[in-house]
Structure 1
Amino acid sequence: MFRRLEENNTLAGGGYVVHNNEQRFIRGQALLTGVQDLSEIVLRREADGSPILLRDVAETQIAPMTRQGAVTRDGRGEAVTGLVMMLIGENSREVVEAVKERLETLKKALPDGVTIEITYDRAALIGRTLKTVVTNLIEGGGLVILVLLVMLGSFRAGLITALAIPLSMLFATNLMLATGVTASLMSLGAIDFGLIVDSSVIMIENCLMRLGHNDGSKSRLDIIRDAAIEVRKPTMFGELIIAIVYLPILALQGTEGKLFRPMALTVLFALFGSLVLSMTFMPALASIALPKHIDEKDVWLVRIIKRIYEPLVTRSIRHPLVTTLIAVSVFVTSLPIGYHLGAEFMPRLEEGDLLIEAVRLPTASLEDSIEMSTRIEKELLAFPEVRTVFCKTGRPEIANDVMGVHQTDVWVLLKPHHDWPKHKPRDELIGEMSEVLNSRVPGVAFGFTQPIEMRVDELVAGVKADVAVLLYGDDMTVLGQKAKEIERVLREIPGAVDVKADYQANLSTLRIEPKRDALARYGVDAARVMNVVSSLGGREVGVIFEGRSRFPILVRIPEEWRRNQSRLEQLPVAESGGKPIPLSELATLTLEETPPSVEHESLRRRTFISANVRGRDVASFVEEAQRTVAAKVSLSPGYELRWGGDFENLLSASRRLLLITPVVLLLIFLLLHMTFHSARLGLLIFLAVPMAASGGVFALAARGMPFSIAAGVGFIALFGVAVLNGLVWVSSAEQLRQSGNALSVVTRTTALSRLRPVLMTALVASLGFLPMALSNSDGAEMQRPLATVVIGGLVTSTLLTSLVVPAIYPWFVPKGTATDA
Structure 2
Amino acid sequence: MVAFLIKRPIAVTMAFLGVLVLGVVAAGFLPVSLVPDVDIPRITVNVSAPNYAARQLENSVMSPLRNNLMQVNRLKDIKTESRDGSGMVSLEFDYGTNIDLAYIEINEQVDRAIPSLPSDVARPAVIKASASDIPVFYLDITLKDTGLRAATGNQSISDVDFLELSEFADEIIRRRLEQIPQVAMADMSGRTFPEIIITPDMEKLRAMNLSPAAIEEVIRTNNISFGNIFLRDKQYQYSVRVGNRLLDAGDIGELYLNHQGRLWQLKDLCQIETRPQYPEGAVYAAGQRAISLAVIKQADARMQDLKHALHEMITLFETDYPFLQFTVTRDQTTLLDYTMGNLRQTLLIGAGLAFLVMFVFLRDSRAPWLIIISVPAAMVVSMLFFFLIGISLNVVSISGLVLCIGMMIDNAIIVIDNISRHRKSGKSLSQACVDGTNEVFRPLLSSVLTTCSVFIPLIFLGGLAGALFFDQAMAVTIGLSVSLLIAMTLVPVYYYALYKKSTPRGTNFLARINPLNYTGLYGAGFRFAMRRQGLVWIMAGGLVAGLAIMMLLIEKERLPVLQREAALLWIDWNENIHLAENSRRIHNLMEELGPEVIYTTIQAGRQQFMLDKVYNNNAQQGLIYILTASASHLEGVMDKTTQLIGTQYPYAIFHFREEGNLFDQLFADRQAPLEIRLRPMEPYGRDLPALLQRTIRSLEESLPGTSFDALPMQQSVALQANLQLMALHEVNMTNLQQTLTRLFNEHQVFTLMDSRSSIPVKIGGNPSAIEDLLHAERVTSRNGVEVPLHMLLRKQPGQELQTIIAGIEGEYYPLQLDVNPRDVERAQVVVREALRGEGLFEASFAGSIFARRQLTRELLMIGVVALLLLFFILAAQFESLRLPAIVLLEVPLAMAGALLMLILFGVSLNIMAMIGMVVMTGIIINDSILKIDTINRLRDNGMPLIRALHTAGQYRLKPILMTSITTICALFPFLFIGGLGGDLQKPLALTVIGGLGLGTLVSLYFIPVCYYYLYRKKE
The structure-2 alpha-carbon separation of the partners of 1:548 and 1:583, relative to structure 1 and needing over 3 Å to count, comes to same
Structure 1 window deviating more from structure 2 (58-67 vs 784-793): it is: 58-67
2:1005 alignment partner in structure 1 = 803
Whether the aligned pair in 1 keeps the contact of 2:887 and 2:929 (CA below 8 Å) is: yes
The structure-2 alpha-carbon separation of the partners of 1:523 and 1:652, relative to structure 1 and needing over 3 Å to count, comes to farther
* 1:324-339 equivalences in 2 (<5 Å): 324-339=537-552
Equivalent residue letter for 1:270: G
Q: Distance in 2 between matches of 1:461 and 1:16?
A: 64
1:353 and 2:555 aligned: no
Equivalent residue letter for 2:756: R
Shift of 1:116: 3.1
* 1:138-287 equivalences in 2 (<5 Å): 138-178=348-388, 179-184=390-395, 187-188=398-399, 190-214=402-426, 218-257=427-466, 260-287=469-496
1:635 and 2:835 aligned: yes
Q: Distance in 1 between matches of 2:252 and 2:667?
A: 46
Structure 1 window deviating more from structure 2 (423-432 vs 339-348): it is: 423-432
- SS of 2:799 mapped into structure 1: strand
Shift of 1:229: 1.2
Equivalent residue letter for 1:184: V
The structure-2 alpha-carbon separation of the partners of 1:486 and 1:714, relative to structure 1 and needing over 3 Å to count, comes to farther
Shift of 1:651: 4.2
- SS of 2:943 mapped into structure 1: coil
Shift of 1:796: 2.4
Whether the aligned pair in 2 keeps the contact of 1:483 and 1:607 (CA below 8 Å) is: no
1:654 aligned residue (851, 856, 863): 856
Unaligned runs of 5+ in 1: 418-422, 494-498, 612-617
Q: Distance in 2 between matches of 1:641 and 1:300?
A: 72
TM-score by length of structure 2 reads 0.69
Shift of 1:259: 5.4
Whether the aligned pair in 1 keeps the contact of 2:564 and 2:979 (CA below 8 Å) is: no
Equivalent residue letter for 2:539: I
Structure 1 window deviating more from structure 2 (347-356 vs 93-102): it is: 93-102
Whether the aligned pair in 1 keeps the contact of 2:558 and 2:910 (CA below 8 Å) is: yes
2:7 alignment partner in structure 1 = none
* 1:308-327 equivalences in 2 (<5 Å): 308-327=521-540
Whether the aligned pair in 1 keeps the contact of 2:283 and 2:290 (CA below 8 Å) is: yes
1:420 alignment partner in structure 2 = none
- SS of 1:232 mapped into structure 2: helix
Q: Distance in 2 between matches of 1:23 and 1:302?
A: 104
Structure 1 window deviating more from structure 2 (10-19 vs 730-739): it is: 10-19
The structure-2 alpha-carbon separation of the partners of 1:577 and 1:62, relative to structure 1 and needing over 3 Å to count, comes to same
Q: Distance in 1 between matches of 2:362 and 2:880?
A: 32
Shift of 1:125: 5.5
Whether the aligned pair in 1 keeps the contact of 2:397 and 2:471 (CA below 8 Å) is: yes
Structure 1 vs Structure 2: percent identity of aligned residues?
19
Structure 1 window deviating more from structure 2 (799-808 vs 18-27): it is: 18-27
Shift of 1:274: 0.3
- SS of 1:347 mapped into structure 2: coil
Structure 1 window deviating more from structure 2 (307-316 vs 19-28): it is: 19-28
Shift of 1:71: 3.5
2:624 alignment partner in structure 1 = 410
Q: Distance in 2 between matches of 1:598 and 1:444?
A: 19
Whether the aligned pair in 1 keeps the contact of 2:702 and 2:830 (CA below 8 Å) is: no
Shift of 1:531: 5.2
* 1:688-699 equivalences in 2 (<5 Å): 688-699=890-901
Whether the aligned pair in 1 keeps the contact of 2:411 and 2:444 (CA below 8 Å) is: yes
Equivalent residue letter for 1:683: A
Q: Distance in 2 between matches of 1:276 and 1:527?
A: 83
The structure-2 alpha-carbon separation of the partners of 1:397 and 1:206, relative to structure 1 and needing over 3 Å to count, comes to closer
Shift of 1:346: 0.7
1:681 and 2:883 aligned: yes
Equivalent residue letter for 1:405: A
The structure-2 alpha-carbon separation of the partners of 1:785 and 1:511, relative to structure 1 and needing over 3 Å to count, comes to farther
1:431 alignment partner in structure 2 = 639
Shift of 1:288: 1.6
Equivalent residue letter for 2:658: Q
String of CA shifts for 1:233-262, please: whole Å, max 9, x gaps: 001111121122111223334453465444
* 1:442-591 equivalences in 2 (<5 Å): 444-452=652-660, 456=664, 469=675, 471-474=677-680, 476-477=688-689, 478-482=691-695, 492=705, 501=709, 503-510=711-718, 512=720, 534-535=741-742, 536=744, 538-545=746-753, 548-560=756-768, 562-564=770-772, 566-567=774-775, 571-572=779-780, 575-576=781-782, 590-591=796-797
Whether the aligned pair in 2 keeps the contact of 1:469 and 1:608 (CA below 8 Å) is: yes
Equivalent residue letter for 1:450: E
Whether the aligned pair in 2 keeps the contact of 1:388 and 1:412 (CA below 8 Å) is: yes
2:579 alignment partner in structure 1 = 366
1:288 aligned residue (497, 511, 520): 497
The structure-2 alpha-carbon separation of the partners of 1:62 and 1:522, relative to structure 1 and needing over 3 Å to count, comes to same
1:117 alignment partner in structure 2 = 327
Shift of 1:366: 2.2
Whether the aligned pair in 1 keeps the contact of 2:419 and 2:436 (CA below 8 Å) is: yes
- SS of 1:339 mapped into structure 2: helix
Shift of 1:131: 3.9
- SS of 2:570 mapped into structure 1: strand
The structure-2 alpha-carbon separation of the partners of 1:273 and 1:120, relative to structure 1 and needing over 3 Å to count, comes to same
Shift of 1:587: 7.6
Q: Distance in 1 between matches of 2:507 and 2:877?
A: 30
The structure-2 alpha-carbon separation of the partners of 1:425 and 1:591, relative to structure 1 and needing over 3 Å to count, comes to closer
Shift of 1:785: 1.6
Q: Distance in 2 between matches of 1:229 and 1:412?
A: 60
Whether the aligned pair in 1 keeps the contact of 2:297 and 2:306 (CA below 8 Å) is: no
String of CA shifts for 1:606-645, please: whole Å, max 9, x gaps: 444568xxxxxx9x85656885686478335753354546
The structure-2 alpha-carbon separation of the partners of 1:126 and 1:281, relative to structure 1 and needing over 3 Å to count, comes to closer
The structure-2 alpha-carbon separation of the partners of 1:165 and 1:460, relative to structure 1 and needing over 3 Å to count, comes to closer
Structure 1 window deviating more from structure 2 (327-336 vs 636-645): it is: 636-645
Shift of 1:599: 2.5
Q: Distance in 2 between matches of 1:364 and 1:348?
A: 36
The structure-2 alpha-carbon separation of the partners of 1:95 and 1:621, relative to structure 1 and needing over 3 Å to count, comes to farther
Shift of 1:735: 0.3
Structure 1 window deviating more from structure 2 (556-565 vs 154-163): it is: 556-565
Q: Distance in 1 between matches of 2:305 and 2:678?
A: 42
Structure 1 window deviating more from structure 2 (400-409 vs 135-144): it is: 135-144
The structure-2 alpha-carbon separation of the partners of 1:788 and 1:561, relative to structure 1 and needing over 3 Å to count, comes to closer
- SS of 2:713 mapped into structure 1: coil
CA RMSD for the aligned pairs?
Answer: 4.0
Shift of 1:213: 0.4
Shift of 1:270: 1.7
Equivalent residue letter for 1:288: A
Whether the aligned pair in 1 keeps the contact of 2:931 and 2:956 (CA below 8 Å) is: yes
String of CA shifts for 1:690-744, please: whole Å, max 9, x gaps: 1122122212111111111222233334333331111001000000111122212
Shift of 1:30: 2.5
Equivalent residue letter for 1:272: S
Shift of 1:319: 3.2
Structure 1 window deviating more from structure 2 (595-604 vs 176-185): it is: 176-185
The structure-2 alpha-carbon separation of the partners of 1:685 and 1:119, relative to structure 1 and needing over 3 Å to count, comes to closer
* 1:44-59 equivalences in 2 (<5 Å): 59=271
The alignment of Structure 1 onto Structure 2 pairs a total of residues equal to 783
The structure-2 alpha-carbon separation of the partners of 1:155 and 1:607, relative to structure 1 and needing over 3 Å to count, comes to farther
